[in-house]
Amino acid sequence: MKIEKSVYDRVVAITADYSRMQKLIGSGELTREQTATFVKELTAIDNALTVVCDREREEVKRALLVDIAERRGYERSVSRSVFGSKKVFDRRKGQAVILIARMLDLI
């Protein structure tokens, strides 16, 4: 399934903001609405990575998150040794992006 570039860019922006959102939620300096939005986004990312990387370690999920956020390809990916081949890596990364977009009602 192909997704629009604008949806892909939105998913990349949200994943790039993952650490910042976690810190802000922990600080307690957000409004109730902001907290709800951030929790929804973080939950969508976590759930998508769990589905795509079901048996992999937490480090692999974080590496895939960074790969999406920084638009890394197979050659620069930290997680490439786990996925083995470019085809598997591309498929898993694509699945994660699509699942995140679906969970956030972007598609």
pLDDT in tens, the chain (107 residues): 788 999 999 999 999 999 999 998 888 888 999 999 999 999 999 999 988 887 677 888 888 999 999 999 999 887 777 888 899 889 989 999 999 999 999 98
Model pLDDT, residue 79: 77
Q: Which domain holds residue 56?
A: 5-103
Q: What is the pTM of this model?
A: 0.86
H-run or E-run covering 13: helix 5-16
Model pLDDT, residue 96: 93
Per the structure, the count of domains in the chain is 1
**Residues 96/100/105/106 CA torsion (nearest 10 deg):** -70
